[in-house]
Amino acid sequence: MPGSGKSSIGRRLALRLGLPFLDADSEIETAAGLPITEIFARYGEPHFRDGERRVISRLLAGPPVVLATGGGAFADARTRAAIRGSGAVSVWLRCRMPTLLRRVAGREHRPMFLNADPAEVLQRLMTTRHPFYAEADLVIPCTDESPESTTRRVQEAIEAWRPPARLPVTLGERSYDILVGEGLLARAGGLMAPVLPGRRVVVVTDETVAPLHLPVLRAGLEEAGFAILAEIAVPPGEASKDFACLQSVLERMLAAGADRRTAVVALGGGVVGDLAGFAAAVALRGLPFVQVPTTLLAQVDSSVGGKTGVNLALGKNLVGAFHQPRLVIADMATLATLPPRELRAGYAEVAKHGLLSGETLWRWCEGHGAALVAGDAAAQAHAVLESCRLKSAVVASDEREESAEGGRALLNLGHTFGHALEAESGYGGALLHGEAVGVGLGLAAALSARLGQCSQELPGRVISHLEACGLPARIRDLPRRYSAAALLGRMRKDKKVRDGALRFVLLRGPGEAYTAGEVPPAMVESLLRDEGAEA
């Protein structure tokens, strides 16, 4: 903004960093041979903005510099995109109105302030520009402190800044990025804005997550000029993934005025992501949506890949749609608020990815899984990144799970058993999805060994690791009893069943998963009984 001190701070910062300082406006005037006011008067703003973008792109393509842009440059979408694409770090010096008014005093001769009330001019510029400035990498609140103090804070912020890891999910025109890092909720609006058609959203969350994370998300959206049409909080737990809750979410979204340029933001765990994503898929025949996962399970698995849906009494996720998000924002700081049981349950999906990936990641899981569930932030970040890297590659090669063998179906390792256990439990929270998957991983490894497809040591290795991480690993570890016949009946309703034949994802070893058909039901029933199910 005028008066923010970008030139004086920029010069001081350049000296501290040992870099040249450039002012984009001066460079434009030199290139054009005309003052900016005359360029505007002769050719109009569109012509100026086009030239401004080309000059800034040229400067950023050269050696490192500290560059102060004109106040209107970052408000231009193409210039913002050019700055992002260059790899530059963008810094917004954010000043409050009283500070700006004092600093622009005496500038009444400037064309912007000529014969105008400076407060009205500044307020208009703030209203117009601040939503775009919020897309900057760093936002530095500026006060009436000395320029040296502000410069020091800017330098410290730049040196401490770590950009979020950005993993692409390559799906042609439906491609999107997964962002993984700390403090991303507060920047959510600036991160979402470049990939959404407008700045209107509906937020879907649950009653547990809302008080923990919704205020920060709300502030991040509002700073970037987003209008939040509705904030919809559903009851926590798998029971909310049903048609009654879906209908309620849809009616509240549409009653709030959602249109086809309104994005649905899913803030929460896997249940919220599946439910909100399915609502986005069917409302008005498809709305854009963004996944903001706040649980380990959602960050490593369910938020990526576009699978959305609800449950039926017959089984889990039997109704749904493939609907890819525009962006996934995984703020690692949200994991610190998870109850230990939820964190352990989420880890089951990490273990699954370790078994699918190969010995390197599986051995990492064996070495670091216990620390991860105990709260080790570095281990959690590594697990999220590696899990997303694996899943994004699988989804890119088989988006709709159409591969005849293998492909995306392999991500269901442990899930045929796990979904049967969940359905039989009634989705009431007595058995979490991750806990069911953990038991399912042990059963899948045991079935693989009985079929002679893997070493006899692998099931014990899997079960021992899950137990070391505090997860139930066998049916007998669960707090209630299950009938082997009832579980088999649930499995026959699984999505992978073909022509009535049971199909499982099994293992020949870590990194060697495969889909198996024609598995003898008697062998499965015998395994279930041996692992603790009742006859």
Binding-site residue numbers are: 3-8, 25, 49, 71, 110, 129, 270-274, 294-295, 307, 316, 334-337, 349, 415, 433
- Based on the residue annotation, tell me whether 213 is a catalytic residue of this protein: no
**How far is the C-alpha of 182 from the C-alpha of 330, rounded, in Å?**
8
Q: Is residue 159 exposed (0-12), middle (13-18) or buried (19+ Cβ within 10 Å)?
A: exposed
Give the HSE-up count for residue 362: Cα atoms under 13 Å, Cβ half-sphere. 15
- Strand 21-23 relative to strand 66-68: parallel, antiparallel, unpaired? parallel
Q: Which residue in 52, 311, 412, 490 is the catalytic one?
A: 412
- Strand 503-509 relative to strand 512-517: parallel, antiparallel, unpaired? antiparallel
From the annotation, which residues make up the binding site for ATP? 3-8, 110
CB 322 within 8 A of CB 400: yes
- Based on the residue annotation, tell me whether 285 is a catalytic residue of this protein: yes
- Based on the residue annotation, tell me whether 401 is a catalytic residue of this protein: yes
From the annotation, which residues make up the binding site for Zn(2+)? 349, 415, 433
- Based on the residue annotation, tell me whether 495 is a catalytic residue of this protein: no
Q: Which residue in 349, 366, 422, 531 is the catalytic one?
A: 349
CB 254 within 8 A of CB 226: no
- Based on the residue annotation, tell me whether 419 is a catalytic residue of this protein: yes
Q: Which residue in 80, 353, 433, 490 is the catalytic one?
A: 433
Q: Give the dihedral of Cα atoms 283, 289, 293, 297; nearest 10 deg.
A: 60
From the annotation, which residues make up the binding site for Mg(2+)? 7
Hey, what are 126's tokens?
């703030």
Q: Which residue in 12, 213, 307, 323 is the catalytic one?
A: 307
Q: What angle do CA 235, 241, 246 make, to 5 degrees?
A: 90
Look up residue 88 and give its DSSP letter. P
Q: Give the dihedral of Cα atoms 517, 522, 528, 532; nearest 10 deg.
A: -170
- Based on the residue annotation, tell me whether 349 is a catalytic residue of this protein: yes
From the annotation, which residues make up the binding site for NAD(+)? 270-274, 294-295, 307, 316, 334-337
Phi, psi of 33 (to 5 degrees): 70, 20
- Based on the residue annotation, tell me whether 412 is a catalytic residue of this protein: yes
Maximum pairwise Cα distance, the chain? 90
Phi-psi region of 78 (alpha: psi -120 to 50; beta: other; left: phi over 0): alpha
**How far is the C-alpha of 342 from the C-alpha of 103, rounded, in Å?**
51
CB 502 within 8 A of CB 515: no
**How far is the C-alpha of 446 from the C-alpha of 506, rounded, in Å?**
9
CB 369 within 8 A of CB 468: yes
From the annotation, which residues make up the binding site for substrate? 25, 49, 71, 129
Phi, psi of 268 (to 5 degrees): 155, -155
- Based on the residue annotation, tell me whether 238 is a catalytic residue of this protein: no
**How far is the C-alpha of 171 from the C-alpha of 195, rounded, in Å?**
15
Question: What DSSP string describes 452-468?
Answer: TSS-TTHHHHHHHHHHH
Pure H helices in 200-298: 209-223, 243-255, 270-282, 296-297
**How far is the C-alpha of 346 from the C-alpha of 330, rounded, in Å?**
14
- Which residues participate in catalysis according to the annotation? 285, 307, 349, 391, 401, 408, 412, 415, 419, 433
